[in-house]
Amino acid sequence: MSYWKGVWKRVRHHKLAVAGFAVFAMLVLASAIVPVISPHHVDDMDLESLFAPPSRSHPFGTDELGHDVFVRIMYGGRISLFVGVAAATSSALIGTAVGLVSGFAGGWVDSVLMRFTDMMLSVPTIPVLLIGAMFLGSGLANIIIILAAFGWMPTARLVRGVTLSLREQPFVEAARAAGASPVRILVRHMLPNLIPIVIVAATLGVSSAILAESALSYLGLGIQPPTPSWGNMLQRAMDYILGAAGEWGQPWWLTVFPGLFILLAVLSVNFMGDGLRDAIDPRLVLGSPHSAAASPTSDERDASAG
């Protein structure tokens, strides 16, 4: 356990990572609690005050149906954060499996898998997500499946790189000499060493999944209203930015707040991931010159979903 103690100590000294963790935890807590304790229900329509600007009773104002925007953002947070975490966890699992098999098996298995991974990586994300959504349709589970199906590649490359360098380590050789089976070597000796970098990749994956969900929902292919998500709240806001004559004085709160929460969530996750990456034993991650972690962009590539 002393390894994790060291990591924890280094993370604690990374101020931005701690701040990121605190903000993210607060977002999770608030989205869990606020919809329960707020006097307004998500679907409550206050027909007396449509498009009401922020006030004491509606801190983020109300929308075109008199919904309380604050409660809807908190409720949407449940959806958006859940999609982000679920999609990132699934992509991390797929990516770890692919990378581990690729790096451990080597030979033609490795070439085929990595060729496929590179092909998937070179295709721009949004169009691929569009096609995925066209097939599966929208809805919570489908969005998670689509994001996971097209988000595992950076993890796979990272895990493969580290697996390759681990394979040559003396302790693996010792295990092999002691007669351990390949499965045992994989599960008992390599996997524990891969966990730190998978956690980092998964953390950064949460931020790209949240961004991708918001883009998909904005395009109308993600979470469907009336269920609020940060992305589809932005989509509805678009209709009201311009107003009748394109005059100012339009309900800015409908646009500003949902986006602000996406930014907060993604930024906090990115800081967390960055701190974790710095805290993890750098020798392990950067050990091999061929490891994908050595390149500054590859492990976050898919964050550019927009």
Partner 1 sequence: MGAYVVRRVAGAIPLLILISAIVFTLIALAPGDPLLTMRMENPRAVSPEAIDRLRAHYHLDDPLPVRYLYWLKSVLEGDWGYSSTYKVPVRDLVISRVPNTLVLTVSAWLLGLIVALPIGIVSAAKKYSAFDYAATFAAFLALSMPPVWFGFLTIMLFGVKLKWLPIGGVADLATGTVGALLVDRLKHIILPMTVLGLVQVAYWVRYVRTSLLEVLGMDYIRTAKAKGLGERKVLLKHAMRNALIPVLTIAALDIPYFFGGAVVVETVFSWPGMGRLMYQAVIGSDYNLALCCLMLLAVLTIASNLAADVLYAVVDPRVSYS
Residues that bind partner 1 (CB under 8 A): 122-127, 130-131, 133-135, 137, 207, 211, 214-215, 218-221, 231, 234, 237-238, 241-242, 246-248, 250, 252, 255-256, 258-259, 262-263, 266-267, 270-271, 274, 296-297, 300, 303-306
**Cα distance between residue 76 and residue 78, in whole Å:** 5
Q: Closer to partner 1 at the Cβ: 60 or 104?
A: 60
Residue 194 CB, shortest distance to partner 1, in Å, is 24
Q: Closer to partner 1 at the Cβ: 96 or 275?
A: 275
Contact at 8 Å (CB) between 63 and 252? no
CA angle, 174 as apex, 169 and 179 as ends, to 5°?
130
**Cα distance between residue 264 and residue 229, in whole Å:** 15
Grouping H, G, I as helix, E, B as strand and the rest as coil, residue 35 is helix
Q: Closer to partner 1 at the Cβ: 129 or 185?
A: 129
Q: Closer to partner 1 at the Cβ: 142 or 169?
A: 142
The amino acid that residue 293 corresponds to is: A
**Cα distance between residue 265 and residue 80, in whole Å:** 10
**Cα distance between residue 222 and residue 146, in whole Å:** 10
Residue 31 CB, shortest distance to partner 1, in Å, is 17
CA 122 to chain centre: 19
Three-class HEC string of 123-153: CCHHHHHHHHHHHHCCCHHHHHHHHHHCCCH
Q: Closer to partner 1 at the Cβ: 221 or 276?
A: 221
Q: Closer to partner 1 at the Cβ: 166 or 266?
A: 266
Residue 41 CB, shortest distance to partner 1, in Å, is 26
**Beta-carbon contacts of residue 234 (< 8 Å; ≥ 6 apart):** 214, 217, 218, 255, 258, 259
Residue 55 CB, shortest distance to partner 1, in Å, is 21
Residue 264 CB, shortest distance to partner 1, in Å, is 9
**Cα distance between residue 203 and residue 198, in whole Å:** 8
Beta partners for 68? 62
Q: Closer to partner 1 at the Cβ: 48 or 247?
A: 247
For residue 41, the surrounding DSSP H or E stretch is: none
Residue 244 CB, shortest distance to partner 1, in Å, is 12
DSSP secondary structure of 169-192:
SHHHHHHHHTT--HHHIIIIIIHH
Q: Closer to partner 1 at the Cβ: 62 or 268?
A: 268
Residue 298 CB, shortest distance to partner 1, in Å, is 10
Residue 210 CB, shortest distance to partner 1, in Å, is 9
**Cα distance between residue 270 and residue 200, in whole Å:** 10
